[in-house]
């Protein structure tokens, strides 16, 4: 292959020449993993005119509450027709069974089913020009010219594996989940974050007449018997319900905890449609790229919010930042562009992650503190600022007196001046 002037410029910056785009086994960017992060990255790169391969295993559904805020729908152009439910309030349940309702005044949180939402995102990426292939990533290697070879095992339409295929790329985005094989192969020196093990059961929703189930309300249980360090959830999905639990405590039985949660909510008699489990990372990795042509995104990069466990919005945001960095790398050949993905993400969301991490470590550490945490959620200032921050994905700075009131009440709770 003849080296062009553009390739020479790329090599001068430490990047490989782009593989010939005309070859069906060569792409400018290969995205491994077709969840919200990977599908968003592939879509954005295809729209930018890059030749991009989206490689996904398919057939697996991640355990997920499925909540998406209005900001996600605006930012990523998600149609309301994809929503399976509109949530108008949340109910917090304390260790003493205290129930605190937090209405969303004038808005809603959308709920999606991941077995519908994720394929739609992949189809949108393909419609934008991305090449889609079904297969399992196996390995990657760097060639003498600096390009990356990606080895994967395709599957037939009926799921049978076939011979390994190799494609080449200028850049790789690893969006293959919390147990990312891309990260282990390409960034073996980067420490992995702490995980919360998540498990949920998709259950047929009550058809009507259930005294304590509201299809427009998410219930969150802060009880040590349900989870000693996280929470349990009941999230409506239209004709079904996601009922699940998370914990980082080894040996804690998530299935037994989910059984207790279903019994507490009076939902144990309804049909279980499927069960799913997976690890959830609780902190962004300290580095997302190898400085040569590889970037991570989504759960592979650790972008799940502490305390809340929210992941879809942050996965899509990281996928967009990774796509921008990959596009700049392909355009300039400057490998320093790869580091922009994490830098931009942390500038936009790092403060929220730090605050939520502190919240989880303190308030989730005992039932006594969980009781006070739920009690605090009765406060109108707490409710308003919480929903504004969640719905719009930014910290609210326009109400200094409300922040001061919350701080004073928080201190009073810590000192025991206010009774839970």
List, for residues 154-180, the tens digit of each pLDDT value. Answer: 987 777 888 999 999 999 999 999 999
Q: Are residues 147 and 57 in the same domain?
A: yes
Per the model's pLDDT, the better-predicted residue between 159 and 299 turns out to be 299
20 pLDDT higher than 60: no
Per the model's pLDDT, the better-predicted residue between 34 and 144 turns out to be 34
* Residue 365, domain member (yes or no): no
* Residue 215, domain member (yes or no): yes
Chosen domain end from 224, 254, 281:
281
pLDDT number for residue 158: 79
| Residue 254 belongs to domain with CATH number | 3.30.9.10
* Residue 163, domain member (yes or no): yes
Chosen domain end from 315, 334, 352:
352
Least confident of 2-6, 33-37, 338-342, 407-411: 2-6
pLDDT number for residue 401: 45
Q: Are residues 234 and 179 in the same domain?
A: no
Average pLDDT value for the chain: 88
* Residue 368, domain member (yes or no): no
pLDDT band at 3 (very low <50, low <70, confident <90, very high): very low
Q: Are residues 186 and 198 in the same domain?
A: no
Q: Are residues 165 and 310 in the same domain?
A: yes
**Interval 92-109 mean pLDDT:** 94
Tokens at 349, concatenated:
């969301």
Q: Are residues 28 and 137 in the same domain?
A: yes
pLDDT number for residue 407: 44
* Helix/strand/coil (H/E/C) assignment for every residue in 106-170: CCCEEECCHHHHHHHHHHHHHHHCCEEEEEEEEEEEECCCCCEEEEEEEECCCCCECCCEEEEEE
Q: Are residues 128 and 26 in the same domain?
A: yes
| Residue 15 belongs to domain with CATH number | 3.50.50.60
pLDDT number for residue 45: 98
pLDDT number for residue 420: 54
pLDDT band at 302 (very low <50, low <70, confident <90, very high): very high
388 pLDDT higher than 70: yes
Q: Are residues 98 and 36 in the same domain?
A: no
pLDDT number for residue 63: 81
398 pLDDT higher than 70: no
**Interval 301-307 mean pLDDT:** 94
Which domain covers residue 334, as residue numbers? 5-61+115-192+283-352
Distance of alpha carbon 54 from alpha carbon 220, whole angstroms: 35
Distance of alpha carbon 319 from alpha carbon 31, whole angstroms: 10
Chosen domain end from 281, 303, 338:
281
pLDDT band at 6 (very low <50, low <70, confident <90, very high): very low
Q: Are residues 96 and 213 in the same domain?
A: yes
Q: Are residues 125 and 24 in the same domain?
A: yes
> How many structural domains are present in the chain?
3
pLDDT tens digit string along 39-98?
999 999 999 999 999 999 987 788 888 999 999 999 999 999 999 999 999 999 999 999
* Residue 74, domain member (yes or no): no
Q: Where are the beta strands (DSSP E) in 248-306?
A: 272-281, 294-296
**Interval 326-346 mean pLDDT:** 97
Q: Are residues 172 and 26 in the same domain?
A: yes
pLDDT band at 285 (very low <50, low <70, confident <90, very high): very high
Q: Are residues 124 and 104 in the same domain?
A: no
* Residue 70, domain member (yes or no): no
Residue 93: partners with Cβ closer than 8 Å, 6 or more residues away? 99, 219, 220, 221, 222, 223, 374
* Residue 76, domain member (yes or no): no
pLDDT number for residue 263: 95
**Interval 366-394 mean pLDDT:** 89
pLDDT tens digit string along 237-280?
999 999 999 999 999 999 999 999 999 999 999 999 999 999 99
* Residue 299, domain member (yes or no): yes
Q: Are residues 237 and 290 in the same domain?
A: no
pLDDT number for residue 9: 33
Per the model's pLDDT, the better-predicted residue between 342 and 8 turns out to be 342
pLDDT tens digit string along 183-203?
999 999 999 888 999 999 999
Q: Which helix (H) or strand (E) holds 28?
A: strand 26-32
Q: Which helix (H) or strand (E) holds 22?
A: none
Tokens at 377, concatenated:
């959620």
């Amino acid at each position: 292959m003849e080296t062009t002037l553009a390739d020479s410029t790329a090599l001068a910056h430490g990047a490989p020449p782009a593989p010939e785009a005309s070859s069906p086994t060569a792409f400018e960017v290969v995205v491994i993993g077709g969840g919200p992060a990977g599908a968003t990255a592939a879509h954005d790169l295809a729209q930018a005119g890059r030749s991009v391969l989206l490689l996904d295993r398919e057939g697996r559904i991640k355990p997920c509450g499925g909540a998406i805020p209005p900001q996600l729908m605006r930012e990523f152009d998600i149609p309301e027709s994809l929503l399976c439910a509109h949530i108008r309030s949340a109910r917090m349940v304390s260790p003493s069974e205290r129930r605190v309702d937090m209405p969303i005044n004038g808005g809603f949180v959308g709920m999606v089913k991941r077995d519908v939402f994720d394929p739609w995102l992949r189809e949108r990426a393909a419609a934008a020009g991305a090449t889609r292939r079904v297969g399992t990533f196996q390995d990657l290697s760097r060639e003498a010219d600096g390009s990356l070879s990606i080895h994967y095992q395709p599957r037939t339409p009926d799921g049978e594996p076939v011979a390994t295929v190799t494609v080449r790329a200028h850049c790789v985005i690893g969006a293959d989940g919390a147990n990312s094989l891309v990260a282990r192969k390409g960034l073996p020196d980067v420490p992995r974050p702490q995980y919360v093990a998540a498990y949920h059961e998709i259950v047929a929703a009550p058809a009507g007449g259930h005294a304590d189930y509201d299809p427009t309300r998410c219930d969150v249980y802060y009880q040590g018997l349900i989870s000693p360090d996280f929470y349990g959830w009941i999230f409506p999905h239209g004709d079904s319900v996601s009922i699940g639990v998370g914990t980082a405590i080894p040996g804690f039985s998530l299935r037994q905890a989910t059984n207790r949660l279903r019994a507490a909510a009076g939902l144990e008699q309804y049909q279980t449609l499927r069960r799913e489990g997976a690890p959830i990372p609780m902190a962004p990795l300290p580095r997302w790229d190898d400085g040569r042509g590889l970037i991570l995104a989504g759960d592979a990069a650790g972008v799940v919010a502490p305390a809340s466990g929210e992941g879809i919005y942050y996965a899509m945001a990281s996928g967009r930042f990774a796509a921008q960095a990959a596009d700049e790398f392909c355009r300039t050949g400057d490998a320093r562009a790869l580091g922009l993905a994490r830098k931009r993400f942390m500038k936009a969301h790092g403060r929220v992650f730090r605050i939520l991490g502190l919240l989880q470590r303190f308030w989730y550490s005992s039932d006594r503190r969980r009781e006070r945490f739920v009690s605090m959620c009765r406060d109108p200032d707490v409710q308003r600022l919480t929903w504004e921050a969640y719905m719009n994905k930014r910290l609210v700075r326009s109400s200094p007196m409300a922040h001061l009131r919350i701080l004073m009440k928080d201190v009073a709770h810590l000192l025991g001046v206010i009774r839970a």
